[in-house]
């Protein structure tokens, strides 16, 4: 390969790098495990949650009496909810290069296990989990919460 075509390839590759990094930006995470009845409330619609389903900011996960669900966020946070739980992913912003971001979630009801990810590691003020009566500042890393008992 000559120098010119190599240079052209370099330019094209750089342009592609920018273009291809974008599509995943809207996804904030993904459903990785699911048992029993689980749904996702998105923009007023109730969708059945499937393993592999991408998640968006403002999604609310709801598990039935036999349900549980586990999700991995783009910053590597792991959230998993037990039966009869309602979990809202209120806000999620994440810069994969700097690890800067903001993650706010609310457990309205039920049980939740959390392993915090890069957002909380980068900045101890950047991840907040609320329940109807409490606010948790997540310094890291591994904890469980219940709400509404």
Partner 1 sequence: MLGLLAALLAGCASKPQGSVVLLPDAQGRDTAVRVRQDGGELLLDKPYAAALLTDQGPRPTTSSAEQVQAQFGAALAARPAPPQQFTLYFIEGKDEFTDESKRAFDGVFVEITRRPVPDVLVIGHTDRVGSDAFNDALSRQRAEVVRRALVARGLAADSIVVVGRGEREPIVTTADGVAEARNRRVEILVR
Q: Which positions lie near partner 1, rule CB under 8 A?
A: 9-11, 13-14, 16-17, 20-21, 24, 30-35, 51-52, 68-72, 76, 78, 80-83, 85, 96-97, 111-113, 115, 131-149
Between 41 and 143, whose beta carbon lies closer to partner 1? Answer: 143
Query: CA-to-CA distance for 88 and 68, rounded, in angstroms?
Result: 15
Q: How far is the CB of 29 from partner 1 (least distance, A)?
A: 9
Q: How far is the CB of 102 from partner 1 (least distance, A)?
A: 17
Q: How far is the CB of 35 from partner 1 (least distance, A)?
A: 7
What are the structure tokens assigned to 131, written together? 């329940």
Between 40 and 43, whose beta carbon lies closer to partner 1? Answer: 40
Polymer length in residues for the chain: 149
Residue 25: alpha-carbon gap to chain centroid: 12
> Do the Cβ atoms of 127 and 119 come closer than 8 Å?
yes
What are the structure tokens assigned to 79, written together? 């959230």
Phi first, then psi: give them for residue 26, nearest 5 degrees.
-70, -30
Q: How far is the CB of 84 from partner 1 (least distance, A)?
A: 10
What are the structure tokens assigned to 104, written together? 């706010």
Between 46 and 140, whose beta carbon lies closer to partner 1? Answer: 140
**CA 47 vs CA 37, 55, 118, 135: distances in Å:** 11, 11, 29, 28
Between 42 and 139, whose beta carbon lies closer to partner 1? Answer: 139
Between 46 and 141, whose beta carbon lies closer to partner 1? Answer: 141
Q: How far is the CB of 90 from partner 1 (least distance, A)?
A: 17
């Amino acid at each position: 390969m000559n120098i010119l075509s190599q240079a052209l390839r370099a330019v094209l590759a750089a342009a592609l790098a920018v273009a291809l990094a974008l599509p995943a930006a809207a996804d904030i995470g993904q459903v990785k495990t699911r048992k029993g009845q689980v749904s996702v409330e998105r923009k007023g619609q109730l969708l059945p949650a499937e393993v592999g389903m991408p998640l968006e900011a403002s999604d609310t996960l709801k598990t039935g009496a036999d349900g549980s669900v586990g999700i991995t966020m783009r910053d590597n946070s792991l959230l998993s909810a037990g039966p009869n739980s309602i979990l809202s992913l209120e806000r999620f912003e994440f810069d994969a290069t700097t690890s800067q971001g903001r993650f706010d979630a609310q457990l309205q009801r039920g049980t939740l296990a959390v392993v915090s990810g890069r957002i909380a590691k980068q900045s101890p003020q950047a991840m907040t989990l609320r329940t109807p009566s409490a606010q948790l500042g997540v310094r890291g890393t591994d904890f469980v919460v219940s709400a509404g008992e």
